[in-house]
Structure 1
Amino acid sequence: MKAQRDVWAETLVEVAGLDDTVMVVDGDLANSTKADLFAKAFPDRFVEVGIAEQNMVGIAFGLSTLGYRPWLSTFGVFLTHRALDPIRMLVSQTHASVRLAGAYSGLLNGSSGKTHQDIEDLAIMRAMPNLTVIAPVDEVEAAAVVRWSCAHDGPVYVRLARDAVAPVLPVDYMFELGSVVVLRHGGPVALVSTGVQSSRVFDAAELLAAQGIDARVVHVPTIKPLDETSLLAAIDGCTHVITIEEHTIIGGLGGLVAETLTSHGIAVPVTRLGLADSWSESGPNEFLLDKYGLSAGRVAERVTAAVLADLPTAVH
């Protein structure tokens, strides 16, 4: 297994070897985000800004006006919070071709702690006009998303996790913007997830199957723009949709799915699992996953409770 931060850097070096417009602008975290691999390979195309995230965005915007295709490299929380104003003004409003690599996104940040956890980024970034928002599930999709983003004209936010998860996609997987991916076919209960959480949800579905609950698993890599037809086809025939995200349940994947179903007049119950309306806390990864109900075992428990309460006929 490979962590997404490693795959991001390795793939970027590969692409940059063929495209001399690819650059990286770093915010003093190159050894954590693995941008240092790019710096070693292409020192003339690597800009170290230091702890100055707002200036970093301005520099990337300037480079984009000169025909370069810059990537911003820092922790997700510094992009979606500290640097939000210049992203809004310089990148989003101008449709600049700047790529935002939000490393260490989500709940699990090793020893960085709660100040570095970003559980609101999807809600913030999907509300930004012109911005494409992508959350790959594993190393295979992370590489595909980096290649796609390098070729895309316009701003992109890519949510990257610190730690590796078990890969769930085949090595020949092709990323298609907007489309969802059915990781597991099943019965009338649909488990919809995004990012690395989809790997844990896939494992949870296997635990549920052993209990007699046959759930399908739907991975949503593109938070924006979503191919609504693709999502509706994936959950067609379901009588209960349960969204699971390593993110607050407000404004993220759960909101996206509920909005989509409502706009199409589909009356299917939607249960949103994720972090409630509260701040997260520091702690070891496994502890945090269990505490917030996001480990495979805890997801299986919560889905079972929802199914038994609302959809007893789904238990065979």
Structure 2
Amino acid sequence: MTELRFDGRVAVITGAGRGLGRAYALLLAARGARVVVNDSGGTLAGEGTDGGPADEAVREIKAAGGEAVACTESVATAEGGRAVVDAALDHFGRIDVLVHNAGIVRSAPLTEMTYDDFDAVLDVHLRGAFHVVRPAFPLMREAGYGRVVLTSSIGGLYGNHGVANYGVAKAGVIGLSNVVALEGAAHGVKSNVIVPAAVTRMAEGIDTSAYPPMGADLVAPVVGWLAHETCSITGEMLVSIAGRVARAFVAETPGVYRPSWTIEQVGEHLAAVRDTGDPWLLPIVPSAHVDHIRNSFAMATGGQ
């Protein structure tokens, strides 16, 4: 099998000083990419700064013969996000791959979560994604090539206790990736979502003693493929957990059409409304949005 390489490509990876992001940076650099290792080095709650993690990742890449530069700007602001992308342009003259992995955790029950904690998590995960996508995307479109990988979570897909801020942010990232995929389709820009799970510092406080192997090295190849020029999908979500790689997707039941409804009729037809036996799976690209409307209208005009 031919080795998939990134020679000549420039990759920007946020949150790349530790954990998953570091594994992504090391793998892409080992395959020939020139890498911007972005990490502000703050605590898990997003407090403080420390250039050490980014610098150490860069040192490791260079020691192995790769090319990399550290960037400690925070993606939590628009200015920081632009500076991250500018680091690629200033040092390497281009950007081909953008992986937004940076994240923080501020957990609390919904009844106790503060607005500060809600906004802080959205600033890094969701707004942070936009803060790097917004300056990178026009460059990719102009170049006629780009690979964007944004990070969601099972918390964004399914929710979890005590992480309303995290769940909202990770769900929002999916919508952003879909728009990038749609608007980039005609310009060689593909965007997908990784839904990763690994034992990193984000697992602090969780008893992982009974977990199977869940190193970041099991996730990195999936991100590597999504970031590669041979990636054949866009507008999709790939799950990677404990060696399992799968696709997550949004689907609809065909539902039930009636020319009018009462509250009682909704209840009466609920089993058929929820029947998943023949689902609609609408590809984001080229036209899931339009297909959803067209198929729904067809049921109405066809009297089904």
Q: TM-score range by the shorter chain?
A: 0.3 to 0.5
Q: Please report the TM-score for the alignment, with normalisation by the length of structure 1.
A: 0.35
- Structure number with the bigger relative contact order (C-alpha 8 A, sep ≥ 6) is 1
Q: Please report the TM-score for the alignment, with normalisation by the length of structure 2.
A: 0.36
Larger Rg: 2
